[in-house]
Amino acid sequence: MTQDITVPTLGESVTEATVAKWFKAVGDSIRADEPLVELETDKVTVEVSAPNAGVLTHIMAETGAIVAVGALLGRVAVSTAKGAPPPPVVPTPPAPAAVAVAAAPEHPLSPAVRRIVTEGGLDASAIPATGKDGRLTKEDVVNFQAAPPPPPAAAAAPREERVPMTRLRRRIAERLKEAQNTAAMLTTFNEVDMTGILALRDRYRESFEKRHGVRVGFMSFFVKACVAALKEFPAVNASIDGNDLVYKNHYDIGVAVGTAQGLVVPVVRGADALSFAEVEKTIGLLGHKARDGKLSMDELTGGTFTITNGGVYGSLMSTPILNPPQSGILGMHKVQQRPMVMADGAIQARPMMYIALSYDHRVIDGREAVSFLVRVKESCEDPARLLLDV
């Protein structure tokens, strides 16, 4: 019995994918649920697994092929009830005589060529031949030897390398440029004195971790601070749809995660209803999935606001680009001890973080944007405000 391997449903508005990699070759035995092939879409890479044990008999879509949802990727001969996989399918080996012919050089080498190749320890097959019917002439060998020796392996890298953009990279490029071209985008800055968050975190680090099984980080504070500010300034949580402004009463916060394949932005849904611990857990889970390339389409779509943390890479200040159709994105940065002037005029070293809000001025007024960012700053500097909703 054979079973077709087809392209699964990939998610909302995704109709095609690129075959990124086959883990199995034709003739390989496979176990049930073993990944067979990896597909790459605009947003995620998806592994397609074999539903039953058997032997891969056909590959219909080679690596690099673009396949539509439902298209045939390959075919598996499913194991019999006894459980023994059928004998692997191997290509018919060529007749031995043909092998013998192919193994011999196509043309015997001329006497002079034979000498130079032997003396120089050259691989005759590696020398471009210009002679009759592809024969190697002494001229070919002399020219080959006279050619500048290939630079050592370390320097052997080509001056440039041209590779097709992955679907993910193409999609990132399109969306970032779309955001810049569409939105009236600008950025406002502020800074957060992290003393309060750090003190709180230090005080409850152990008990929080013991209780929730997850460490308390900055992200939960900023997510909660943003949700509070979004509630206060609904325009920042809104988007433009045609001639309408769509104000969202749900707070689905995208958290940008850098992965080997590129930037992905999984979404923490209903962040307003989550506890700090739940936010941390959710972000941790999504981050893992992102780095493993296992995020589902649902986990990547539908955010209303985004937080990006360039601080993890050391960024002190940046202007994030919007994640359309969203109207706001908060940029977090590196925490740095800086001399600050206190209310009493004293100068103290304080752990400071610059924060940036890029926003779509078509939707959000400057007053709202600046006030939003001030509100985030205040909530982070004094997390008790979040508790009291002030």
Q: How far is the CB of 143 from other proteins (least distance, A)?
A: 6
Q: Which of 236, 231, 389 is nearest to 322 (CA)?
A: 236
Q: Is residue 125 part of the contact set for other proteins (CB under 8 A)?
A: no
In whole angstroms, the minimum distance from the beta carbon of 101 to other proteins comes to 22
Cα 58 from Cα 68, distance rounded (Å): 18
Q: Which of 21, 31, 115, 215 binds other proteins (CB under 8 A)?
A: 115
| Minimum gap (Å) between residue 102 Cβ and other proteins | 23
The reply on whether position 190 binds other proteins by CB under 8 A is no
If you search the block for the tokens 């035995």, which residue do you land on?
29
Stretch that binds other proteins, among 125-133, 207-215, 233-241, 379-387 (CB under 8 A): 125-133
Catalytic residue among 344, 365, 382, 389: 365
- Kindly determine how many residues on this chain lie close enough to bind other proteins according to the rule CB under 8 A: 16
- Return the number of the residue (138 or 291) whose C-beta is nearest other proteins: 138
The residue from 107, 361, 382, 389 that is catalytic is 361
Q: Does position 110 bind other proteins by CB under 8 A?
A: yes
Identify the residue among 13, 103, 132, 151 touching other proteins (CB under 8 A): 132
**What residues contact residue 40 under an 8 Å CB cut-off, 6+ apart?**
17, 18, 19, 20, 46, 166, 167, 168
**Number of helical H runs and strand E runs in the chain:** 9, 19
Using the rule CB under 8 A, is 106 a contact of other proteins? no
- Decide if residue 111 touches other proteins (CB under 8 A): yes
C-beta neighbour count of 338 within 10 angstroms: 14
CB of 150 to other proteins, least distance (A): 20
Decide if residue 131 touches other proteins (CB under 8 A): yes
Nearer to other proteins, 118 or 125 (CB): 118
Q: Tell me the two tokens of residue 356.
A: 């940036």
Among residues 5, 7, 113, 290, which is the contact residue for other proteins, using CB under 8 A? 113
For residue 130, state whether it binds other proteins (rule: CB under 8 A). yes
122 binds other proteins (CB under 8 A): no
Instruction: Scan residues 313-342 and list those touching other proteins (CB under 8 A).
Output: none
Tokens matching residue 88: 């692997």
Q: Is 142 in the site for other proteins (CB under 8 A)?
A: yes
- Complex with other proteins: residue 146 or 155, whichever CB lies closer: 146
Residue 124 interacts with other proteins (CB under 8 A)?
no
110-118, 170-178, 260-268, 366-374 -> range binding other proteins (CB under 8 A): 110-118
Residue 139 as a binder of other proteins (CB under 8 A): the answer is yes
Q: Where are the alpha helices (DSSP H) in 53-194?
A: 96-103, 111-120, 138-146, 167-182
**In the complex, least distance from residue 149 CB atom to other proteins, rounded to whole angstroms:** 17
- Please tell me whether residue 147 binds other proteins under the rule CB under 8 A: no
Q: Exactly one of 63, 80, 143, 348 binds other proteins (CB under 8 A); which one?
A: 143
Cis? peptide before 325, omega within 30° of 0: yes
CB atoms within 10 A of CB 390: 10
Hey, is 199 helix, strand or coil?
Answer: helix
Does residue 137 bind other proteins (CB under 8 A)? yes
Q: Which two tokens stand for residue 300?
A: 């990547």
Per-residue exposure over 291-305, b if at least 16 CB sit within 10 Å of its own CB, e if not: eebebebebbbebbb
- What is the amino acid identity at position 215? R
Nearer to other proteins, 131 or 324 (CB): 131
Characterize 210-243 residue by residue with b for buried, 16 or more Cβ atoms within 10 angstroms of its Cβ, and e for exposed.
Answer: eeeebebbbbbbbbbbbbbbbeebebbbbbbeee
One of 66, 101, 112, 198 touching other proteins (CB under 8 A): 112
CA atoms of 325 and 241, how far apart (whole Å): 8
In whole angstroms, what is the distance from residue 333 CA to residue 160 CA? 33
| HEC profile of 295-362 | CCCCCCCCCCEEEEEHHHHCCCCCCCCCCCCCCEEEEECCEEEEEEECCCCCEEEEEEEEEEEEEECC
Catalytic annotation on 365? yes
Nearest distance, CB of residue 145 and other proteins, angstroms: 10
What are the residues binding other proteins (CB under 8 A)?
110-113, 115, 130-132, 135, 137-140, 142-143, 146
Active centre residues (catalytic): 361, 365
